[in-house]
Amino acid sequence: MAGRLSSLTLFIALTGCAQVHSGGMLDPAGPVAQVQRDHFLIVVALVAIVIVPVFLALPWILWRYRLSRKSTDYKPDWDFDRRIEWVIWGVPVLVVAVLAAVLWINVHRIDPYRPLALQGVPQGAPPLPVQAVGLDWKWLFIYPEQGIATVDELVVPAGRDIAFDLTADGPMMSFYVPRLGGQIYAMAGMRTQLHLAADAPGGFRGLNTQYNGVDFHRQSFRVRALPPREFAAWAARARSAPPLDVARYAKLVEPSVTARPLVFGRVEPDLFAKVIGKYEGGSAPHHMAQAAR
Amino acid sequence: MISGLSYWIFGRLEWSDLLIKSNAIATGASCMVVIVAIAIVALLTWTGRWGWLWREWLTSLDHKRIGIMYIVISFIMMARAIAEAMVMRTQQAMAAGGGTDLVGAEHFGQLFTTHGTVMIFFVAMPFLSGLINYLLPLQIGARDLSFPFMNAVGLALTWAGAVLIMVSLTVGDFSTGGWSAYPPFTELAFSPGEGVDYWIWSVTLTGIGTTLTGINFAVTIYKERCPGMHLMRMPLFCWTALCTAILIVFALPPLTVASSLLALDRYLDFHFFTNGSGGNMMNYANLFWLFGHPEVYILILPAFGVWSEVISTFSGKRLYGYRSLVLATMCIAVLSFTVWMHHFFTMGQSANVNAAFGFATMLIGIPTGVKVYDWILTMYRGRIRFSAPMLFAITFLFSFVVGGLSGILLSNAPTDFAMHNSLFLVAHFHNMLIPGTLFGFIAGYMYWFPKAFGFRLDERWGRIAWGLWTAGFFAAFAPLYSLGLMGAMRRTSQTYDPAYEPFLYVALVGAALLFAGFVALVVQLVVSTRHRDRLAVPIGDPWDGRALEWFTPSPPPEWNFARLPQVECIDAFAREKREGDPYAPQDGDYADIEMPRNTGLPTLIGMAGIACAFGLVWHIWWMAIVGFVAMWGFLVARSFESRTTRTIPAATVREANEAWLSRARMARAVPREIEFTAANTGRAEPLA
């Protein structure tokens, strides 16, 4: 039957993802994505307990009890069996109970707000703070300790917990680096947090996943994880770039796509707080609305 | 002065808003709407059918006619929404790897917004309202719904919303904010045009209509059951209708509140959901999904009801685990209100909250799994006939468990962090809504069509449609699961990763197959109508049905039952066929029957609703006020109408009923092996 065949194809397609991944969550490059991948596989395995019987029993029943076979055990009034009832309620209950326990553990292990416990890193070692601001249609990353900023390029030291603070200066956006894990919304006037780390040096893709207008599909950024020493060297070089002053920031906020990543050598220390503060109280900028009226 | 005057007359509407759009495809669609509208008007005038349309349909309060009109709306809107899906998939496949754009990003945004809005509010909702409208009174042995006038108003508000969304294709632009219309993107600052207003008013109109309908269904089930029809003797479809009605009553008001608050933000500069001035869009997300999550169960529960009827009938067997299925349905209905926050696990709430809502969501998997097993056990020890509705049921059972798996994956915050907003999510909800809801409704349409029109649908074209829908569904959505896991996001008009390309092409082929499946349904309808004499089943029981609706002629008379039936068990009609003589003459006294008198007021209310909403969208204030006042005026006028019913004399009822019974007695009972042949005139020989 075509139905059965196509279901099979779907399953192959689902399991085939492990081979065809192209920088997705099944190819983790950091501890958070690792937990997500493991959780994915555990859920699939546990739910299989419930769904595999359907794939086995249904074809058999359809074959055996088709009208043309004139089965002798036709029982039109058979409609209940207490033992079967225990199994079909009980097994899913047990599966969900186990899933709930696994969920409880993992949801806390990779709580976006919680610093990561990384292997080979001493307990209590401070994470690297990065402030991410979602703009139409670009990401601004501020490094408060280094006093520098980048647009559409996130450079981080490999093996170190990166503590993101996120907000938006524009509509809501969602920050996501598929191979490193996580995803969290960035909203104007609010601060959300996220912790990510890369296992080893490498390059990854990051993006905004929440639709915010015509150039939404172009709001992606490069992530470069460098060995710690190279990161320090990069940050030192970045300081010689031009500063992110008020005028330049005002230009960035305008809806546009930057052709290539930008680097700024100096940032107002409280820019991130100012961006959030812009939306508090009654002084929200409604420049586009006014222009439209 | 002139411009001031033109504002008072036409609001923001300008010549440039009419007909011509940003690109050829949009302009073509816009012109097509106009051409089709003109063609329909011309056809009605040419054939002199205006009077017929008004007398027989637009003024009818008969639940059966209202049900059919709901389903007609659904099919018309489905044509549009599937065409839009085709365009979107073509755009993505063409633009993959930096190819050429078919429609451009702005139009693409409108396409995914209208596709979602239309499919949810103007395809799935009218379809389920139509099915329940048609069947509920027949299945519980009632003459009509409790509030026939309110029922017609609900229908009018639904088509008013549908007309408004069709108008948006020609006049101005639609929203690009997605079917969920999340602010702040949909606030004035970022979406200053008329698009979001179109969304707000079409959804608000239909939302109010649906609320009225939900109240009507619930009251009808509580109050209108025939003697002996205890709740625990109702067909499963009525149970799902009851749960859906309760969900509608509780879930639709939050939607109306959310869309109204968004309107206040946009029209009167309130700040409920704006970025600044104390607004907070998280409140919108809460309100919207407080509606939105129960909504998916509103959509799928009636389909579960259809599956229960279809599988039991075509297996020639009682439903396995009736009590289990009722309990499971109720569990799902209650739990559906406890899970809305899984739609925004990534909005920054605490891990404990995410765990709690993930757990609540997974709990729904338990009763849903039980249902799947119960349906399979219904087939066990049965005699299965592979009719077209049954084939849809089989595709459903296989694919639904895959959708369940992906649903559990999404309900776990750790995995949801990686899949939120991705094509994996798109694949998941289409997996639930196409085989789950839409296939259920199509199966129900094919299964009950002979009841409504007196002839069966062509079986061969039904199977072709099934093959195309099934193949199309898997081809269109299996690749999206993979794409989602690879990190491809929804609502992207183009992608730059060459690895995505083959998947996008397969998805495009799938969309084309789904479109072909829709065409096959149309062909089936045309072919069947042309051969309606050969397919006629006037006696009314072509499938060896089990519930009361099959104990009526096809189509049933306006009054449904000459005398209200008396039932003693589940599947009363099936038992009567095996143990008694359902078609014996019903001697004794027939009584006069009171039926609601036709009225044009609901249609006028719908038209006033369109005027009001259109005026609001374009800031044509006089039109908005006139429309609003007229809506209430017609409602007030109704309260002064004293002659709301008319009486059908007992003699008429007796004559019609005895004629039907004697025809049924004379007809040959048809065995199941030849139920798809011309020999089947609607009297079934039960399996032994």
3-state secondary structure of A205: strand
Q: Which of B182, B376, B673 sits opposite A172 (nearest CB)?
A: B182
Residues of A in Cβ contact (< 8 Å) with B276: 188-189, 278-286
Contact B481 A181 (CB under 8 A): no
Closest residue of A to B376, CA-based?
A58
Taking CB atoms and an 8 Å limit, are A88 and B479 in contact across chains? no
Collapsing DSSP states into helix, strand and coil, what is residue B113? helix
Which tens digits make up the pLDDT trace of B350-395? 999 999 999 999 999 999 999 999 999 999 999 999 999 999 999 9
Of B280, B422, B672, which has the smallest distance from its Cβ to A209's Cβ?
B422
- The whole-angstrom distance between B528's CA and the closest CA on chain A is 25
pLDDT at residue A281 in the model: 59
CB spacing of B687 vs A74 below 8 angstroms: yes
pLDDT of residue B21: 82
**B99 part of contact set with chain A, CB < 8 Å:** no
pLDDT per residue over B456-507, tens digit each?
999 999 999 999 999 999 999 999 999 999 999 999 998 888 889 999 999 9
CB B486 to CB A22 under 8 A? Answer: yes
Contact of B328 with chain A, judged by CB distance below 8 Å, is answered with: no
DSSP code string of B424-481: HHHHHHHHIIIIIIIHHHHHHHHHHHHHHHSBPPPHHHHHHHHHHHHHHHHHHHHHHH
- Whether residues A217 and B105 touch (CB distance < 8 A) is answered with yes
What mean pLDDT is predicted for residues B566-594?
91
A286–B188 CB contact, under 8 Å? yes
Give, in degrees to the nearest 5, the angle at Cα B81 between B76 and B85.
150
The minimum CA-CA distance between A236 and chain B, rounded to whole Å, is 33
Percent of chain B past pLDDT 90, that is, above it, reads 91
Q: Using one digit for the tens of pLDDT, what is the confidence trace for B646-663?
A: 999 999 999 999 999 999
Distance CA B681, CA B668 (A): 8
Pairs of CB atoms within 8 A across A/B: 343
Nearest-Cα residue of chain B relative to residue A14: B482
> Distance, in angstroms, between A231 CA and closest chain B CA?
27
Handedness of CA B165, B170, B174, B178 (dihedral sign): positive
Residues of B in contact with A92 (CB under 8 A): 365-366, 369-370
B106 touches chain A (CB under 8 A): yes
Is B679 a residue whose pLDDT tops 80?
yes
Q: Residue B673 and residue A106: Cβ atoms within 8 Å?
A: no
Mean per-residue pLDDT, B54-61: 96
Whether B518 shows a pLDDT value over 60: the answer reads yes
Contact B369/A92, CB-based, under 8 Å? yes
B51 touches chain A (CB under 8 A): no
B402, B403, B406, B412 alpha-carbon torsion, rounded to 10°? -130
d(CA A2, CA B197): 44
Q: Is B463 on the interface with A (CB under 8 A)?
A: no
For chain A, residues with pLDDT lower than 70 are 1-22, 281-293
Partner A contacted by B676 (CB < 8 A): no
Asked if the Cβ–Cβ distance from B176 to A110 is below 8 Å, we say no
Overall average pLDDT of the B404-422 stretch: 96
Read off the pTM: 0.94
Residue from A261, A268, A221 nearest A244 by CA: A268
Touching A: B residues 161-190, CB under 8 Å: 176-178, 182, 184-185, 188-190
**What pLDDT score was predicted for residue B570?**
93
Question: Using one digit for the tens of pLDDT, what is the confidence trace for B161-184?
Answer: 999 999 999 999 999 999 999 999
What rounded mean pLDDT belongs to chain B? 95
Q: Chain B: residue nearest A69 by CA? A: B383
Beta-carbon separation of B384 and A292 below 8 A: no
Query: Residue B600: what are its φ and ψ, rounded to 5°?
Result: -90, -5
Give the distance from residue A225's alpha carbon to the nearest chain B alpha carbon, in angstroms. Answer: 19
Tell me how crowded residue B585 is: count the other CB atoms within 10 A of its CB.
11
Rounded to a whole number of angstroms, the distance from the CA of B659 to the nearest CA of chain A is 32
Query: What's the pLDDT score for residue A121?
Result: 77
CA distance B486 to chain A (A): 4
Q: Does B94 touch chain A (CB under 8 A)?
A: no
Question: According to the 3-state scheme, what is the secondary structure of B332-388?
Answer: HHHHHHHCHHHHHHHHCCCHHHHHHHHHHHHHHHHHHHHHHHHHHHHHCCCCECCCH
The reply to whether residue A1 touches residue B366, judged by beta carbons under 8 angstroms, is: no
What would you measure as the largest C-alpha separation in chain B, in angstroms?
84
A65 → closest Cβ in B350, B379, B470: B379
Note whether B480 and B402 are within 8 A (CB). no
- B359 near A CB under 8 A: yes
Selecting from B344, B414, B418 the residue whose C-beta is nearest the C-beta of A178 gives B418
**Nearest-CB residue to B471 (from A6, A40, A113):** A6
Question: Which positions in chain A touch B546 (Cβ < 8 Å)?
Answer: none
Token pair of A233, please? 């060297």
Q: Using the beta-carbon criterion (under 8 Å), do A54 and B176 form an inter-chain contact?
A: no
Q: In the structure encoding, which two tokens stand for residue B624, read together? A: 């908005």
Which residue is closest to B463 within chain A, CA to CA? A2
**A71–B421 CB contact, under 8 Å:** no
Task: Give the per-residue pLDDT at B99.
Answer: 76
B321 close contact with A: CB closer than 8 A? yes
pLDDT of residue A6: 46
For B499-516, the pLDDT digits (tens) are: 899 999 999 999 999 999
In this complex, the residue of A61, A170, A185 whose CB is nearest that of residue B379 is: A61
Nearest-angstrom CA–CA distance, B361 and B277: 34
Q: Token digits for B470?
A: 């099934």
B142-159 average pLDDT score: 97
Residue-level pLDDT at A20? 42
| Closest in B185, B278, B673 to A171, CB measured | B185
Contacts with A104 from chain B: Cβ below 8 Å:
355, 359
Which among B274, B382, B487 has CB closest to A65? B382
Sign of CA dihedral A21, A22, A27, A31: negative
User: Are A171 and B492 an interchain contact pair (Cβ–Cβ within 8 Å)?
Assistant: no
Residue B324 contacts A, CB cutoff 8 Å: yes
Nearest chain A residue to B328 by CA: give it.
Answer: A89
Inter-chain CB proximity B398 and A54 less than 8 Å: yes
Please, are residues B215 and B249 in contact by the beta-carbon 8 Å criterion?
yes
Residues of B in contact with A172 (CB under 8 A): 182, 184-185, 281
Give the model's pLDDT for residue B2.
55
pLDDT at position A144: 96
Nearest Cα of chain A lies from the Cα of B658 at a distance, in angstroms, of 31
From the CA of B216, how many Å to the nearest CA of chain A? 32
Report the distance separating Cα B661 and Cα B539, nearest Å: 8
The answer to whether residue B232 neighbours chain A at the CB level (below 8 Å) is no
Q: Is the pLDDT of residue B341 over 80?
A: yes
Measure the CA–CA gap between A72 and B600, rounded to whole angstroms.
Answer: 57
Please write the tens of the pLDDT for every residue from B168-225.
Answer: 999 999 999 999 999 999 999 999 999 999 999 999 999 999 999 999 999 999 999 9
